[in-house]
């Protein structure tokens, strides 16, 4: 394995430990779950429950136990979801969130790539100006607002798509579109600007001079070099999309991890929040690691550095 990848793997471990520590610290600073579980019970009953949940131990002891359990994949039982393990609750909902995120990313790329390339090639023309305007609009709209507007138009006004839920493919369309609206503009901008940079370079001019067809110049020669920033941003956007999925899941009543975590934060359900945040962090970190691996393929120079 190249030293580059080893360094990245070490960094990955550090990030995961950091995420665990920060989640743990913020949660324990945010209050006492027992008073939420038993709002009217006398202090003696609460103390008993605190003991049973392991919340009476000093914080370092609790953190050590948490890390130890995490390594073995055991996040403990949810305080609120009666008797169920926190990781099972998260895993049960993970496919939904991942599907939503991956579909949105896919849709965003499918839109951003051709439009971005086209507007770079036809710089300053009507299509380019329209695209730039759309980027501006798309990036200014908050996700929840986009979601509600799409519901009002497609669900209530025209009645062509279900308003909410996750029980048919038709129901998947609006949330996917909502989340892509948030990502596609940024990707489009990146594609456009890096293409613009690349197609002005000498080797592209050389390729053209050699008589290579325009489409081959763009898709083969130019795009491969323009792809590096796109891959970076796509990797980073994946994390943001997972974050955006939280809001989208709430607006469209989708049974995903984001909604679970938000509910768990409100109830101070420590094990569920920790399991959820940990697993999402794992996914984001893994995606970024994959991006690093892709770099190696796209730009051999990195292998040497």
Partner 1 sequence: MKRWFVLAIAVLALIGSAAPVAAQAKDTLVVALVSHAPTLDPHMHFERVGILVNINMFDSLLHKNRKLEYEPSLAMSWKTLNDTTWEFKLRKGVKFHNGDVMTAEDVKFSFDRVLEPGKEKKKSPQYGNIRAIKDVRIVDADTIHVVTEKPFPLLLERLVFFPIVPKKHIEKVGEEAFGTTAAVGTGPWKFVEWKRDQHIRLEAFDGHWRGKPAFKNLIVRNIPEVATQIAEMKTGGVDLIRNVSADLVPELKSHPQTYVSSAPILRVHYVELDMREAPFDKKAVRQAANYAIDKQAIIQKLMGGLGQQVATVVQPAAFGFEPEVKPFPYDPKKARELLAQAGHPNGVDITLHSAFVEFRPVFEAITQMLTEVGIRVNARMWDPGPAWNKFLQAEGKATNGYYGSWGNYSVFDADAVLHPLYHTEPGGWIGKWYTRVEGLDKLIDEARSTLNQAHRKRTYSQIQKLIREEAPAIFLWTQYDTLAISKRVDYAARGDEWLWLFDAKPKR
Residues lying near partner 1 in the complex (CB under 8 A): 29-32, 35-43, 45, 48-49, 51-52, 78, 80-84, 92-93, 144, 148, 151-152, 154-156, 158-168, 170-171, 173, 250-256, 259-260, 263, 265-266, 268
Decide whether 80 or 238 has the Cβ nearer to partner 1: 80
Give the nearest distance from C-beta 73 to partner 1 in angstroms: 20
Give the nearest distance from C-beta 78 to partner 1 in angstroms: 7
Decide whether 45 or 57 has the Cβ nearer to partner 1: 45
Report the distance separating Cα 84 and Cα 111, nearest Å. 41
Give the nearest distance from C-beta 158 to partner 1 in angstroms: 8
Give the nearest distance from C-beta 37 to partner 1 in angstroms: 6
Decide whether 67 or 253 has the Cβ nearer to partner 1: 253
Token pair, residue 189, equals: 């901008």
Decide whether 46 or 123 has the Cβ nearer to partner 1: 46
Residue with tokens 């779950």: 33
Decide whether 87 or 234 has the Cβ nearer to partner 1: 87
**What values do phi and psi take at 77, rounded to 5?**
-95, 145
Give the nearest distance from C-beta 40 to partner 1 in angstroms: 5
Give the nearest distance from C-beta 130 to partner 1 in angstroms: 10
Give the nearest distance from C-beta 284 to partner 1 in angstroms: 22
Report the distance separating Cα 143 and Cα 172, nearest Å. 16
Decide whether 11 or 56 has the Cβ nearer to partner 1: 56
Decide whether 49 or 282 has the Cβ nearer to partner 1: 49
């Amino acid at each position: 394995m190249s030293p580059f990848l080893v360094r990245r793997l070490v960094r990955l471990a550090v990030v995961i430990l950091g995420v665990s520590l920060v989640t743990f610290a913020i949660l324990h600073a945010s209050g006492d779950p027992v008073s939420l579980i038993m709002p009217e019970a006398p202090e003696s009953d609460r103390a008993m429950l605190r003991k049973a949940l392991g919340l009476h131990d000093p914080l370092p002891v609790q953190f050590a136990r948490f890390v130890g359990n995490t390594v073995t994949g055991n996040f403990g039982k949810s305080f609120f979801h009666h008797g169920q393990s926190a990781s099972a609750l998260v895993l049960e909902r993970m496919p939904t969130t991942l599907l939503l995120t991956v579909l949105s990313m896919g849709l965003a790329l499918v839109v951003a790539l051709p439009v971005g390339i086209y507007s770079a090639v036809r710089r300053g023309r009507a299509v380019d100006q329209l695209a730039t305007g759309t980027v501006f609009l798309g990036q200014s709209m908050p996700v929840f607002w986009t979601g509600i507007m799409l519901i009002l138009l497609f669900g209530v006004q025209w009645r062509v798509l279900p308003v909410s839920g996750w029980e048919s493919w038709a129901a998947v369309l609006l949330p996917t579109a909502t989340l892509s609206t948030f990502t596609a503009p940024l990707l489009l901008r990146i594609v456009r600007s890096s293409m613009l940079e690349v197609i002005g370079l000498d080797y592209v001019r050389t390729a053209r001079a050699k008589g290579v067809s325009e489409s081959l110049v763009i898709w083969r020669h130019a795009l491969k070099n323009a792809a590096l920033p796109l891959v970076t941003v796509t990797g980073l956007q994946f994390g943001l999309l997972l974050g955006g999925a939280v809001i989208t899941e709430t607006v469209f009543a989708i049974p995903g991890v984001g909604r679970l975590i938000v509910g768990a934060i409100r109830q101070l359900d420590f094990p569920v929040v920790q399991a959820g945040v940990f697993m999402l962090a794992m996914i984001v970190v893994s995606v970024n690691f994959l991006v690093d691996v892709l770099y190696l393929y796209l730009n051999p120079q990195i292998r040497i550095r």
